[in-house]
Chain A
Amino acid sequence: EAGVAQSPRYKIIEKRQSVAFWCNPISGHATLYWYQQILGQGPKLLIQFQNNGVVDDSQLPKDRFSAERLKGVDSTLKIQPAKLEDSAVYLCASSLAPDPTYNEQFFGPGTRLTVL
């Protein structure tokens, strides 16, 4: 079974530029998560999707971050414009159903973003 795919693996941009990350979850997984992992910290949830609907985006900085999952399969996370403090690893995870207590999340390898 293929795992969660993310691209690109690495991205370097200058501040105020735009960037987009792509995630393809495990086939059949209805729930998709985006996390931000800053160096030295644990992952922080940015947004959770159930199919193509948003379950929780309370920690997403909506003035510069956006995410979509239009067809309920793959997803894109965008930052526009980027700030220095956005330098982090962006992790995508998926699970069969929305309750993370009973539905294991499977994580992708992440995209490491460096903002100069």
Chain B
Amino acid sequence: AQSVTQLGSHVSVSEGALVLLRCNYSSSVPPYLFWYVQYPNQGLQLLLKYTSAATLVKGINGFEAEFKKSETSFHLTKPSAHMSDAAEYFCALPQKLVFGTGTRLLVSP
């Protein structure tokens, strides 16, 4: 079965620090992988997507993710966290409309 696993339900960083949100996948076919962001009381918004072209994908708001087949991972990173990045982030397998359980990012001043 195809699935995604997000390690860590909560990640806390200080403003200006590196953000790293982890996502590992399991798929019997070459996967496409998306990251979504959900701000409080809002719907999900597409952050970036991997569709088998470049393995390093850049998204909105300075986020990027790298697809690593050998590690079955698609971790989300941002070099310097901003207070406005505080939200919940979901990794997803769009082919099966499967979402991870989410990671809440907390940013402290």
Contacts and interface: CB of A to CB of B under 8 A. Distances in A.
Contacts of B9: 40
Interface residues of A, number: 21
User: SS class of chain B's interface: helix, strand, loop or mixed?
Assistant: loop
B43 interface: yes
B51 interface: yes
B94 interface: yes
User: SS class of chain A's interface: helix, strand, loop or mixed?
Assistant: loop
B43 A108 contact: yes
Interface of B: 9, 32, 41-46, 51, 90, 92, 94-95, 97, 99-102
Interface of A: 4, 33, 40-45, 48, 91, 93, 100-102, 104-110
Question: 5 nearest interchain CB pairs?
Answer: A107-B43, A42-B99, A100-B94, A107-B44, A45-B97
